[in-house]
Amino acid sequence: MEQKGGVLMQKYELGRLLGQGNFAKVYHARNLITGTSVAIKVIDKEKVLKVGLVDQIKREISVMRLIRHRRVVELYEVIASKTKIYFVMELAKGGELFNKVLKGRLKVDAARKYFQQLISAVDYCHSRGVCHRDLKPENILLDENENLLVSDFGLSALFESKGQDGLLHTTCGTPAYVAPEVINRKGYDGVKADIWSCGVILFVLLAGHLPFHDSNLMEMYKKIIKGQFKFPKWFAPDVRRLLSRILDPNPKTRISIARIMKCSWFKVGLENPAITPTENQELAPQDADGIFEACENDGPPIAESKHELTKPCNLNAFAIISFSTGFDLSGMFQETVSMKEMRFMSNKPASSIISKLEEICKRLSLKVRKKDGGLLKMEGSKEGRKGTLGVDAEIFEITPQLHMVELRKSNGDTMEYQKLFTQDIRPALQDIVWTWQGEQPQQDQQHHEVIQEDHQPSHTA
């Protein structure tokens, strides 16, 4: 199906081969409906299953679905057949940044522009809860206007995949660009590791060679761990200071992206265009599991478009019924739950629920205002990525002894809300929550666990 001149889904005409790896090929293609050029990455499903890279492909789909930024290659849609997975992506007409590096060092202004764009993209990824973990010139593409586009999220990690210690533990990345803490294998902060890789890229752009290089891989690792490198004589003092703080082998003292952005060298000629409408668009998560389950019976290819947004969940009788695990009708009647809304049931009086919410607001430095009809409006004290974060809490009386509380984002950035909810609000509500929507009531869950323990098979010699 991916031969030159072939047509995919009666929509994309495949053209010349742009590149290939062990499990995928990338083709130039044309959208027959719009006439626009795209890149289509064709992945061999059988090979991916054989070598155990299924999770990596699923992660790449999920991450690219989550990220929408002018400096990140856009994933338009994913198409699956019985044997192939097709990523339909933005075409980077300028090729890889690596090709420019091969020709030698860049002029300072050009290197700085690429670094500014890289930091903007990486900062946005981090705000979405994503660490790239394999930043290098080969994974950075250029558009027709010589602007940077970050690509290849196959090794990326979501913040939620951290271990109990809050750190990532998978050793990955390209040796020359990998942070020392990743090599040490003691767990690492993916954000800090990405910052290190950005520093190596900046050094390469300005110097024309790597800061850490040795024909012996172990010797190179030793240099990376110690942070041993030399600046070329043409490096100006201000960029030396910046790189020294980025290529700090101690992640705890390594400079943050926020501080990089405040450095005088970084701010020279900095473009600060307004956020595009697509960057404000909140997108539904991609059903990556479905891609591998698709078309097992030789059916036609299926497509998952990036532009189908989630619909908000309506509060109706079926939503209330679904809180009872014995009468969960959500599969028939309930639409997709928005990531901006969370609901729980409480067997506490409304006054206790309000007091608890006020207590949480005080601890988190949130302003709180009471409105008529059991509505509380909570607002952050600091500006976020999309303004001040606002959360509405509305209390509904089901019976005098049972209340439903709906928490929903009313303003600000969804990922900031998700982080606040997951890390601070939800744990603090534990005392008053009987059950969260879609979950088993706590006492029922405990009873179920006791029954399971009582029915464990005995083991006799």
For the annotated binding site for ATP, the residues are 41
134 given a catalytic annotation: yes
CB 57 within 8 A of CB 43: yes
Q: Which residues of 332-346 are buried (b: 16+ CB within 10 A; e: fewer)?
A: eebeebbbbebbbbb
What six digits make up the tokens of 45? 């499903």
Nearest CA among 298, 301, 305 for reference residue 9: 301
Question: Which among 351, 306, 314 is positioned nearest to 330, based on CA atoms?
Answer: 314
- Distance between CA 283 and CA 303 in Å, rounded? 16
Residue 328, CA atoms < 13 Å, CB-side half-sphere:
9
* Residue 27: its H or E element: strand 24-31
For 192, phi then psi, to 5°, come to -65, -35
Whether the Cβ atoms of residue 87 and residue 65 lie closer than 8 Å to each other: no
Angle at 423 between CA 249 and CA 404, to 5 degrees: 170
Distance CA 315, CA 160 (A): 28
Going by the DSSP 8-state scheme, the letter that residue 424 receives in this structure is I
d(C-alpha 254, C-alpha 245), whole Å: 6
Whole-number Å distance between alpha carbons of 200 and 329: 53
- The one catalytic residue in 123, 134, 189, 248 is 134
Residues labelled catalytic: 134
